[in-house]
Amino acid sequence: MTAVQAAVRGRAARGRGADRGVSFLLLPALIPVLIFSVGPLLYGIYLSFTDARGGRNAVVSFVGLKNFGEVLTDGDFWSSFKIGLIWAVSVTVLQFAAALGLALLLNSDLRLRGLARALAMAPWAMPPIVIGLMWRLVYHPNAGILNATLRDAHVIGHNVDWLNNFGTALPAIIVVGVWTGMPQTTVVLLAGLQGVASELHEAAAVDGAGVWRRFWSITLPQLRPVIIAITSLDFVWNINQFAMVYALTQGGPGGRTRLPMLFAYEEAFRYGFFGYAAALGVAITIVVLVVLGLYLWRQMRENA
C-alpha cells in the first residue's frame, strides 16, 4: 500500500490507527464462529458430494452428484418434504393471523392486557421439549383434557388418539406449532403497530374512514415490511423445527409427521449415511431459499 493510499484510508475512517486493535477485539468471537460454523457449513456442502459414512475410520470418496440423484428419486424424502411444506406454510400463516389479532388487541386499551402479554410470552420461556410433552398430556387419549372436554360437549362419542391417528396427527402438531410461535410473532407485530403514525389514523377518521377501512388502508400497508420479515423468519424456523415434534410424535404415526429435519436426522445418526444426509441438507436449503426468494420477490414487486 502506498503512503497516499494509506493516508486516504486513514482519513476516510476515523481512528484507523486502531485498526489492528479492532481486529484483536473481533478475533475471539470470530474464530469459534469460523471454525465451528462457517467451516462445517462448507465442509457439509463438500460431504454432500461424497459417500461419507458414520463409522470412525470410514474411507470417504467423491461420488459427484450421485447423492442428489438419489434424493430426487427418494419417495420417502419427498413425502417427508411435502409434510414439511404443509406444516411450515400452515403454521406460518395461522401463526401470523393469530398473532396479528392478538397484537391488535394488545395495542388497544383493554383490561387484562398485562395478563395476555405475560401468557403470550410463556411459550418463549419454555424448553421446546417441555412444550411437546405438555401437549402430549393435552392430547392424551385417556387422561387428556381435550378428549374429556369434547366428550362432555358430545362432540365425539369415544376417545380419539390424536397424535397416533393418521388423519389427525399433522393437524394436531400444527396447532402446537401455532401456539409455540405466538410470542415472537406477536412481539414483532406489536412493535410494528406501535410504530404506525397515529396522525394518519386520526386524519382518516376525520375523513370518515371506518375501523376496517383504516386497518386495510393504513395499518396493513405501514406494517408491510414488518410482516414480510417476520413471516419469512417464521417459515424458516418452522421448516427447521425438530425438538418439539420429536417430543410429540417422533415423526409417527407411519411418518405422517416426519418433518424433513427428522428424516435427515434419522438418515445421518440412525443409519449413518452422512454423505446422503448432507445432500438432504443442501436440498432443503435450496428449496427454502427458492420459496423465500419467490415470496420476497412477489412482495417487493407488489410494493413497487
Partner 1 sequence: MSKPLKYVALLAYLVFLGFPLLWLLSTSFKTQREMATLHPRWIPHHPTLSNFTDAFSTQDLTGSALRSLVVALSVAVITVVLALPAAYALARHRSLLNRVAIGWVLVSQVFPVMLIIIPLFMILRRLDLVNTLPGLILVHVTFTLPFALWMLQGYVRGVPRELEEAAAVDGAGRLRTLVRVIAPLLTPGVIATLLFAFISSWNEFFFALVILKDPDKATLPLTLVKFTGAEQAARLGPLAAASVLATIPSLIFFAVIQRRLRSGLTAGAVKG
Question: Residue 96 CB, nearest distance to partner 1 (Å)?
Answer: 15
177 vs 281 by CB, closer to partner 1: 281
CB 133 within 8 A of CB 199: no
68 vs 265 by CB, closer to partner 1: 265
Question: Residue 33 CB, nearest distance to partner 1 (Å)?
Answer: 6
Q: Cell 450421485, residue?
A: 66
Burial (Cβ within 10 Å: 0-12, 13-18, ≥19) of residue 41: exposed
Question: Residue 129 CB, nearest distance to partner 1 (Å)?
Answer: 4
73 vs 108 by CB, closer to partner 1: 108
Judged by DSSP in three states, 239 sits in: helix
Quick one: CA dihedral 258, 264, 269, 271, positive or negative?
A: positive
Q: How far apart are CA 223 and CA 194, in angstroms?
A: 10
174 vs 182 by CB, closer to partner 1: 182
Question: Residue 73 CB, nearest distance to partner 1 (Å)?
Answer: 20
Question: Residue 135 CB, nearest distance to partner 1 (Å)?
Answer: 6
227 vs 247 by CB, closer to partner 1: 247
Contacts of 253 (CB under 8 A, 6+ apart): 163, 164, 165, 166, 169
Question: Residue 292 CB, nearest distance to partner 1 (Å)?
Answer: 7
CB 102 within 8 A of CB 116: yes
Question: Residue 208 CB, nearest distance to partner 1 (Å)?
Answer: 18
DSSP letters spanning 149-177: HHHHTTS-SS---GGG-TTTHHHHHHHHH
Rounded-to-10 torsion of CA 172, 176, 177, 181:
160
115 vs 206 by CB, closer to partner 1: 115
256 vs 284 by CB, closer to partner 1: 284
Q: How far apart are CA 132 and CA 251, in angstroms?
A: 12
